[in-house]
Amino acid sequence: MSDTKGTKVALITGANKGIGLETARQLGKLGVTVVVGSREMRRGEEAAEVLRGVGVDARAIQLDVTSEADCAAAAKYIGREFGRLDILINNAAVNLDQGAGYETSTTPVEAIRETFETNFFAVVDLTQRLLPLIRKSEAGRIVNVSSAQGSLKLLAPKDSTIYATKTFSYDASKTALNSFTLHLAHELKGTKIKVNSVHPGWVKTDMGGQMAPLELVDGAKTSVRLATLGEDGPTGEYFHMDLALPW
């Protein structure tokens, strides 16, 4: 077992690039040991090497979140290496609607199922598997990376800045993810574990595109803040930066 006494341990899914990698860098700079979850081990190792190059204690594991075998192996690895998990950031996601030209009425059911497998069911599965290890933390933190498009309150009004942005599979999967946040936070309200959803913002990533106004360093800030909340911090809420968002 690795000697991480006094050091927090975080698992970040989809951490080999984009917001996930930047989140790992920022947490690592705060002294957190970071486990980089990546669908391809080679890319995870490359990301971990980059992080180690800037002084971060980073380890890589193969973690395709839709693979039950990978999720089981991740839980076994963390239990063996650290004996607990302090921070879980469910960052991995897909947007199959993007660029496909789907209308809601023509979105293939297969695309909806595939989106939900990654963005919702996989999050529930992995979190449930890791919860026994998170319960062993002195201050467990679960961060579900959602989107403003998961908020029905923000998506519905005709004067909303995101009213015209309707990607049915992605939006619905993030709404479901927000529901998981609310329900799990309610279950754990009597514990030291805090569960929150985040909207990272419109960020320059493969998904966000280069027209996005925010840089990666900004896109990771909300996840990092909620991953490092103090004892008096919120749970069962939904944030972008310091702004609480409506469900």
- Of the residues 8, 174, 194, 221, only one is catalytic, namely 174
Assess whether 147 carries a catalytic annotation. yes
Of the two residues 174 and 205, the one the predictor is more confident about is: 174
pLDDT at 82: 98
CA 204 to CA 51: how far, in whole Å? 20
pTM to 2 decimals?
A: 0.94
CB 28 within 8 A of CB 55: yes
CA 188 to CA 132: how far, in whole Å? 12
Q: What is the mean pLDDT of the chain?
A: 93
Q: Which of 1-10, 39-48, 233-242 has the lowest mean pLDDT?
A: 1-10
206: pLDDT strictly greater than 70? no
Model confidence pLDDT, tens digit, residues 31-58: 999 999 999 999 999 999 999 999 999 9
Confidence bin at 6 (pLDDT 50/70/90): confident
Helices of type H across 82-201:
109-116, 122-134, 152-155, 168-187
Torsion-angle region of 107 (φ positive above 0: left; ψ -120 to 50: alpha; else: beta): beta
CB 162 within 8 A of CB 149: yes
Average pLDDT, integer, range 16-30: 96
> What order of strands is seen across the sheet that includes strand 194-198?
58-62, 33-38, 9-12, 87-90, 141-145, 194-198, 238-240, 243-244
213: pLDDT strictly greater than 70? no
Assess whether 174 carries a catalytic annotation. yes
- Of the residues 137, 147, 169, 173, only one is catalytic, namely 147
187: pLDDT strictly greater than 70? yes
Give all domains of the chain, ordered by start, each with its CATH number: 9-244 (3.40.50.720)
Q: At what angle do helices 109-116 and 168-187 cross, to 10 degrees?
A: 30
